[in-house]
Amino acid sequence: MCVNFIPPDYMTLAEYFHVDSPEAEWEAEAYQDYLTPIIRRSARGGRRASLASFGMVPKRHIPTGFRPFATMNARAETIGQKPTFARFWHACQLCLIPMTAFFEPNWETGKAERWRIGLNDDQPFAVAGLWRSWREHDGSESLAFTALTINADDHPLMNRFHKPPAPGEPPDKRSLVIVPPDQYDAWLDCRDPELARTFLTLYAAEQMHAMPTPQVRTRTKSQPPDGPEQGSLF
């Protein structure tokens, strides 16, 4: 499962995804509960970028007494049944998650090694996502999202990641769903969850690349080119 990725900067959102950037900063890498851009269909029919929290249920919305759980990824096989995702999946609250790369653990050496995964041409890309809104304690509205995953047991690249199964357990390698650019609008416009499933396919391995990339945790941010004022994000 993917729990860490690199979102695009302001200029890349405009150039490659044809959306105006949210007037706020976001971190150079996204982790659980980090605000990062997602792309949705706007009320006027165009594409709209908004900042949303990575994870369908932000930690602050986990009820008291419940053990913390992660919702950064949703399995395509069960997304229509799981309470966390089902209502929003059936409502087709679909989004695109723009990225320049994502990270997965490779265990081929016997221990987890962080690898960076992207496209051969180093171009940005978008991953299939699902979003929802939350009402905050101060009355404001926020957004949260999850990235959809599918089985990758037979994918020449993505089956190299994640910890091997325990003895007796079947393999279940996972992959994010990279949406081809010519399908962006069709994905955003889809209002039939069964039709949406037809978009959930593995990206061609020969068009992807991966390499070991040690983790360096920095808190640099993507800043607006003209330094817009900080205000409501949504």
pLDDT in tens, 109-123: 999 999 999 999 999
Query: What's the pLDDT at 76?
Result: 98
Query: Position 95: which residue type?
Result: C
DSSP 3-state assignment of 89? helix
**pTM attached to this predicted model:** 0.91
Query: What's the pLDDT at 230?
Result: 28
Query: What's the pLDDT at 7?
Result: 98
* Homologous superfamily in CATH for domain 5-203: SOS response associated peptidase-like (3.90.1680.10)
**Residues 65, 36 contacting (CB under 8 angstroms):** no
Domains of the chain by residue range: 5-203
Q: Which of 39-48, 73-82, 93-102, 216-225 has the lowest mean pLDDT?
A: 216-225
In which band, very low, low, confident or very high, does the pLDDT at 210 lie, cut at 50, 70 and 90?
Answer: very high
Instruction: At 188, list the tokens.
Output: 């955003």
